[in-house]
Chain A
Amino acid sequence: MSLPSGIFQESYGQDMAILRTKQQWIWLLIFLAVLFTMPLYSSDKIMTLATMMGISVISVLGLNILTGYCGQISLGHAGFMAVGGYVSAMLTANLGWPFWAALPCAGLAAGLVGILFGLPSLKIKGFYLIMATVAAQFIVIWLILQFRGFTGGTDGLAVPRPELFGYVIKTKGAYFLLVMIIACLATFFAKNLVRTRVGRAFIAIRDNDLAAEVMGVNLLSYKLLAFFIGCVYAGVAGSLLVHYFAFADINMFPFGDSVWYLAMLIVGGMGSTTGAIFGVITLKLLDEAMILAGPALAAAFPAIAAQAAASLSLIMRGLVIVIFLIFEPRGLVHRWELIKAYFKRWPFSV
């Protein structure tokens, strides 16, 4: 169905490959080359934006596994990021662990907390599960505030910057490279996971949980596994976020972000690794555009300047979600597939 035109497979291994032609390999290498040389010719502002995008991509890839593939909608993803962020912050700041040891621990801790809040998923579905995951968000933040002796509470916690063989990663470009390496690995793992046994079990649960159980999928363990994997991604993203600012603060993990991550999935296309990346890039760029448009709008309509500057971004965010749900519920990735199909069949496409 999505084969490049005129390409024939001669083995099942070839048929299952994601990259099938030389051109695809070349495009990938060009993309990676551009991506990893970006610090050489990009301003700090672009580096900041791209780093934030990278961190969000990691987080949304996790949410995509949990929500897009396994069908367990979570509105507590920023809360799970907070678990990762604070575990990493406490390990490095309070116990003096190196970043490289704290990062996997952050992922693991968030994953375990994810399993805990995933437990209701066997009994409750849909709307009610969403409420349970919202609880995760608020409970995590509440706990961080309660244990101020370890977490710094509302004061936050200063976090050391990561070090690599004695070199402190403190320039924006260097941190960008760190985030992008992890984001590429995260994409690689996510893409492979969903096309093999475990991923098919997740999709089976999403599409028809009763049939999945009859076909031998243990619903509880696979739902919990989806929570675990999704939250490991969130934890890693949280850790990277905290170390980027060299500071951990509860305001870095607001409930609004949890909603916004879900919006990124909707805009990009649920149940697609490419879609998750598209969604993050599109909505992050929208945010930036709104920041630029705010002052211009305020100048044009001085009477509502104060309100406009404060609410423009929120209004646009809501509008984008509504527009996508109505006109392109399958997300940008669907559009992307159509465009690819058009050029594949050209000049026979209409």
Chain B
Amino acid sequence: MKIDKNVRLSIKNLSLSFGGVNALSDVSLEIKDGEILAIIGPNGAGKTALLNCINGFYKPQKGEIYFNGKRVTRMRPDKLAKLGIGRTFQNIELYTGLSTQDNIMAARHVLMKQNFITGAIYFGWARQEEIQHRRIVEEIIDFLEIQSIRKQVVGALPYGMRKRVELGRALALEPQILLLDEPMAGMNLEEKEDIARFIIDVYEGQGETYPDTPVLKNGIKNIILIEHDMGVVMDIADRVVVLDFGHKIAEGTPAEVKANKKVIKAYLGE
């Protein structure tokens, strides 16, 4: 296989079916370094199913997924996380019994080295490592402006805040590629603007404002975004892929996709 250095993630002829229902049929797409890719489509088009295939939740029956040129099809989710794929969920999936800070800290799991013995002894090695990672978690908390809920249990937080905590948790994994499943669903305009700003800031990188956190300092240069709000998609996405009934029906810049007849048909009918 010819490996294009600029292609971070490439999906080839992916098919996924549940019984007789084809969730995805022969979908191929690529995400290149330095682009925000939006996946759009009507309800049930297979957008979330595609994300679930990428991070190992679903095992596609056909097709292959390559991450950094390496075949990762049907790999376990925790191994993919270790390789650098981070994501958020459409329906928030936080650890409801933990505080905001611990939720984000829990995502540092793959980057920490202590085991159950050093953890149980705590003093010395584990404490040192906890402090070092806590500093990074605090930078993420600062970045997302959730300082005031740092010690609150997330189960009791309002929806918009939980969405932010989940974004923070995905960032704390320091992924190379970030999958965002409807990060703005159910939000009002102001909240959407906040999240859009966070996404752009994460993408661009914040330099020395957050010196200890590489992911905030350098940014995440590959973001896949599922979003229904066309205004947001047109504004922040470099490229758009349109799914309908599990088929990829269009791909291109936001302007191209907007003018595509098939897309208009999928959304509005004949």
Contact = CB atoms under 8 A, between A and B. Distances in A.
Nearest to B123: A192
Contacts of B102: 200, 203
Given A200-B105, A214-B57, A217-B78, A192 B94 contact: no
B134 A12 contact: yes
A193 interface: yes
27 contacts: A1-B151, A2-B151, A12-B130, A12-B135, A16-B134, A189-B121, A192-B120, A196-B122, A196-B130, A200-B105, A204-B95, A204-B109, A206-B97, A207-B94, A210-B93, A212-B95, A213-B81, A214-B55, A214-B56, A214-B77, A214-B81, A214-B87, A216-B78, A216-B109, A216-B110, A217-B109, A229-B116
B106 A215 contact: yes
A216 B138 contact: no
A116 to B, nearest CB: 19
A8 to B, nearest CB: 14
Contact of B109 (A15, A215, A219): A215
Interface residues of A, number: 36
Contact of B121 (A192, A212, A219): A192
B89 A211 contact: yes
Given A199-B119, A201-B109, A216-B110, A208 B57 contact: no
Nearest to B135: A12
A170 B106 CA distance: 46
B148 to A, nearest CB: 11
A71 B83 CA distance: 27
Contacts of B126: 192, 196-197
B88 to A, nearest CB: 10
B109 A211 contact: no
A108 interface: no
Nearest to B153: A1
Interface in A179-230: 189-190, 192-193, 195-201, 203-204, 206-208, 210-219, 225, 229
Contact of B127 (A1, A13, A199, A229): A13
A271 interface: yes
Given A204-B109, A229-B116, 5 more contacts: A1-B99, A196-B130, A197-B112, A198-B114, A217-B109
Nearest to B83: A216
Nearest to B110: A216
B99 to A, nearest CB: 7
A199 B106 CA distance: 9
A306 B176 CA distance: 72
A225 B130 CA distance: 21
B109 A196 contact: no
A14 B170 CA distance: 27
Interface in A285-324: none
Given A1-B99, A225-B116, A213 B77 contact: yes
A216 B119 CA distance: 18
Contacts of B94: 207-208, 211
B173 interface: yes
A233 B126 CA distance: 21
